[in-house]
Amino acid sequence: MIRGNHDIYSENHYHDLGITVVAEQFIDKLWLTHEPQEHIDSNFFNLAGHIHPGIRISGLAKQSVTLSCFVFYENQGILPAFGYFTGKSIMKADKKSTIFALTGDKVIHIPS
């Protein structure tokens, strides 16, 4: 398990469950971290969380909904937070990103 800033249990608790807690992990070319990394060697893909990405989708009648989302860049992916109390950092779809919003039962590609 990658250690994060919201972990409420001690590492001993996870150890007792047979779970190893680390700050980061490399699996071949996959670099797992809690916080998205700014400087990533082009040989690696960084998969992180921490910022709780969300996307706001607006309708024609000024209604809107904010959804958790996955955000992918050339060599980085940011995972959504799954919870009602986490808040969301609103992301903007652009040419450098690919965004997938989560509804209750679907994953929706958000075009840039």
| Model pTM score | 0.84
Tell me if 105 is assigned to some domain: yes
- Per DSSP bridges, beta strands 89-90 and 76-78 are unpaired
Tell me if 22 is assigned to some domain: yes
pLDDT tops 90 at residue 112: no
How many DSSP H helices and E strands does the chain contain? 1, 9
Q: How many domains does the chain have?
A: 1
Tell me if 84 is assigned to some domain: yes
Q: What is the pLDDT of residue 107?
A: 95
Q: What is the pLDDT of residue 27?
A: 96
Write the pLDDT tens digit of every residue in 37-81: 999 999 999 999 999 999 999 889 989 999 999 999 999 999 998
Tell me if 5 is assigned to some domain: no
Q: What is the pLDDT of residue 7?
A: 77
Tell me if 16 is assigned to some domain: yes
Rounded Cα gap, residues 77 and 54, in angstroms? 13
The whole domain housing 90 covers: 11-110
Tell me if 61 is assigned to some domain: yes
Question: In terms of Cα–Cα distance, which of 48, 47, 65 is closest to 56?
Answer: 65
Tell me if 4 is assigned to some domain: no
Tell me if 80 is assigned to some domain: yes
